Each structure stands twice: as structure tokens, then as C-alpha cells.
Amino acid sequence: MALYLGIDGGGTGCRAAVADASGRILGLGQAGPANIASDPDSAAANILQALDIALKAAGGGTIHAAGLGLAGANAAGAPDRLRAALPFEHVAIVTDAITAIKGALGPDDGIVAALGTGSVFASQIGGTIRQIGGRGLVLGDEASGAWIGRALLAQTLRAVDGFTHFTPLLQGVLQEHGSPDAIVARSLTSRPADFATLAPRVAKSSDPAAAAIMAQATKDTAEAIALLQPFNSLPVTFLGGLGPAFAARLHHLAQRPAKGTALDGALLLARQAA
């Protein structure tokens, strides 16, 4: 029996699913991080370990084709190095964003707005995916959790300087840090995930400063979605930890829940690769 492998791998961990030709999942596995750009060797080892667990759970067999959605797959050369280390006949390697989109939409036309620590937007029309955004916090990732958290700290400093009024939320942020210099010091060592820890309280808050940040983020999200709409006709699927917050703010758009996970998207990719 021909088996198919799907891998969903990111900076925190890697999941594997082994399925039959109909898409029925026979076994699941899990292992450590799989960012093939920042640490290709341990990514390959973790992918093979997750596969091993999933294949045992499935009762063994041979992988006919594999679909892998991996953080860092957009880095030049990274997918080729990994492909050489994998013993499968058919291998497709894409970013974890692509498998998330494929999983969310299946084969259907639609738009995905993924808003977690980072942000990325995509349309799928007739099987062709167009992706925008997802450039990282330094140059983009508008409306992402990291972007929202960084904006909260920046607005706090702008209130200290008198560019904007202090609100209870900004006053609270300043008090928690102790001083403006402590906020600056934090910014110098914070990774996107650190900034993103501040996002849920901004998304939930009715404070005027939070409302202003979320209004800008919602505008940026709407602009990205509009850019992907061919005729304002495709439903939007919101993904990620902040997905529900933006789905509620953009309730006037036609929306559709996700069909499946990134792991489902990876399995779909595997069947397409075969």
C-alpha cells in the first residue's frame, strides 16, 4: 500500500502524519524544531524522528511521497540540502505558510489571513497560490502579534515624549517596566515572539491606545485581503492566534472556517507530489 507523509515543521516543533492514498491518517508523530534555514541538520534529524514515530503508529510500510511545510524553506538553497537527506521518491518542500494555506482551503478557491506571531496573506485560485506579506517584523508583518506588541511599547514611549496622550493601558505598560529606558532595553533583546506576548491584551482592551493600534492593524489586514480579491468574491479564512480578533473586526467580509490544519495541507501536497 502506498503511504503518504505530511510534515508541519516550525521553530518550536515538528509534526508528522502518515496517511493512505485516500487521505485517511494512519499514524501521527512529533519531534523537535524544524527550521531548515537556521539549523538544517537538526531539522532533518527531527523530521526523520517524527516520521519514524508516525510510521510505527501506522504499523510500518514505505513512504511513496512526502509533502513538507517547513519554516525557513524560503531561504535560498535550504530545500535542496534537505531533499538530499530524505529517502523518498517524491518530495515537495514549501514554507509552513503554504501548507497552512493548503490545509485551510483544501482544493477550493479562497483567501487566507494568517495572523499569529507573524502575519501572511494568500489567495488560492484554480490551485495557484499567491502569497503576500510574511516578510518578518523588521520590514513588515503588519497586524501580527509581534507588530501589535511592538506598537504598544512604541506608543508608550510616544506618550512619555508627549506626542500622544497617556491612557490607562500605556500608563500600566510604563509602570510595569519601571522606566522608558527599561522599555528601550527590552526592545533591544526582544524577538518577535516576545513582542507578541503583549498582543492579546491589546486585542481584548477597550483602551483608546489599544483601539488605535487595532484600528491600524485592521486597516492593514483589510488592505492585504482587498489586494488578493479578484472581484470581492472569495471568502476569507482567518488563521492564527489573532485570527478570531480580526475575523470579528472584519465581520462584513464573507468568511469560511478552515477546512483543516497545516498537517492536512502537507498531506495534500504529498498526494499532489506523487
Residues forming the site for a copy of itself (CB under 8 A): 74-76, 132-133, 135-136, 138-140, 150, 153-154, 157-158, 161-163, 179-185, 187-188, 190, 223-224, 227
CB atoms within 10 A of CB 107: 11
Q: Which is nearer to a copy of itself, 61 or 172 (CB)?
A: 172
Query: From the CB of 185, what's the least distance to a copy of itself, in Å?
Result: 7
Which residues, including other chains, have CB under 8 Å from residue 140's CB and lie 6 or more apart? 119, 133, 134
Query: From the CB of 167, what's the least distance to a copy of itself, in Å?
Result: 17
Determine the 3-state secondary structure of 202 from DSSP.
helix
Task: Identify whether the C-beta of residue 116 lies closer than 8 Å to the C-beta of residue 145.
Answer: yes
Q: Which is nearer to a copy of itself, 48 or 125 (CB)?
A: 125
Phi and psi, residue 26, nearest 5°: -100, -25
Determine the 3-state secondary structure of 155 from DSSP.
helix
Amino acid at 75: A
Query: From the CB of 76, what's the least distance to a copy of itself, in Å?
Result: 6
Q: Which is nearer to a copy of itself, 2 or 154 (CB)?
A: 154
Which residues, including other chains, have CB under 8 Å from residue 28's CB and lie 6 or more apart? 15, 16, 17, 18, 53, 54, 57
Cα separation of 196 and 191, whole Å? 9
Q: Which is nearer to a copy of itself, 106 or 180 (CB)?
A: 180
Write down the residue that cell numbers 483608546 correspond to: 208
Q: Which is nearer to a copy of itself, 62 or 197 (CB)?
A: 197
Query: From the CB of 90, what's the least distance to a copy of itself, in Å?
Result: 25
DSSP 77: T
Q: Which is nearer to a copy of itself, 158 or 201 (CB)?
A: 158
Query: From the CB of 18, what's the least distance to a copy of itself, in Å?
Result: 31
